[in-house]
């Protein structure tokens, strides 16, 4: 596995080593030792799997307590995955990074504690798997508006795409009103 740089400290894009031939492909999607060698030493305690149709936008989610680091990958389809730095002490505070993750490119994004996370489904359907470093705690979950003008996230909304946002996500707060990390 190869560690690729991103413009935000601690946010890591991972490219697995894929072995492909006429039968198909094989790659290691998780190896605790390899990730530790690449600087990701967190212990993952929960796996989540979501399926979303084209135009579904999820996020921007985070937990203010029992904060979760996430290792995100796509096993079917394609998404535009976004992480927003909510760490006040960070030199990249309130900056965002977005990347296309797909079953085809097999890239993974490691999002450490202190970030909000969301994604937009670009393909007809996408299945997203992600590991978390802490358990889901609904009472600590927070949501920032996906379209907050202060963040200026450039979502790749394609012509004719019907955007679908859950009522919970539509009720997300502006980043200026959000609980943030130290």
Contacts 24+ apart (CB under 8 A), 26-34: 27/106, 28/1, 29/73, 29/108, 30/71, 30/131, 31/1, 34/1
Q: What sections of the chain are H helices per DSSP?
A: 32-37, 167-170
Closest CA to 72 of 158, 11, 18, 152: 11
The catalytically annotated residue of 30, 97, 130, 140 is 130
Q: In what order do the strands lie in the sheet with 57-63?
A: 96-102, 78-85, 115-121, 57-63, 141-143
Annotated catalytic residue within 30, 49, 61, 110: 61
Q: Known catalytic residue: 62?
A: no
Active-site residue flag, 130: yes
CA 78 remoteness from chain centre:
13
Catalytic residue annotation: 61, 130
């Amino acid at each position: 596995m190869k560690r690729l740089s991103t413009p935000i400290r601690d946010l890591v894009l991972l490219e697995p080593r894929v072995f492909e031939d006429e039968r198909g492909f094989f790659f290691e999607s998780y190896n605790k030792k390899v990730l530790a060698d690449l600087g990701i030493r967190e212990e993952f305690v929960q796996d989540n799997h979501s399926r979303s149709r084209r135009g579904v936008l999820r996020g921007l989610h985070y937990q203010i307590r029992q904060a979760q680091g996430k290792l995100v990958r796509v096993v079917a389809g394609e998404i535009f995955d976004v992480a927003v730095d909510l760490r006040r002490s960070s030199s990249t505070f309130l900056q965002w990074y977005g990347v296309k993750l797909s079953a085809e490119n097999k890239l993974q994004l490691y999002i450490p504690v202190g970030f909000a996370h969301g994604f937009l489904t670009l393909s007809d359907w996408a299945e997203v798997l992600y590991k978390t470093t802490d358990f889901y705690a609904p009472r600590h979950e927070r949501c920032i508006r996906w379209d907050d003008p202060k963040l200026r996230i450039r979502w790749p909304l394609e012509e004719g795409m019907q955007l679908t946002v859950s009522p919970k996500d539509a009720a997300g707060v502006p980043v200026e009103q959000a609980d943030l990390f130290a």
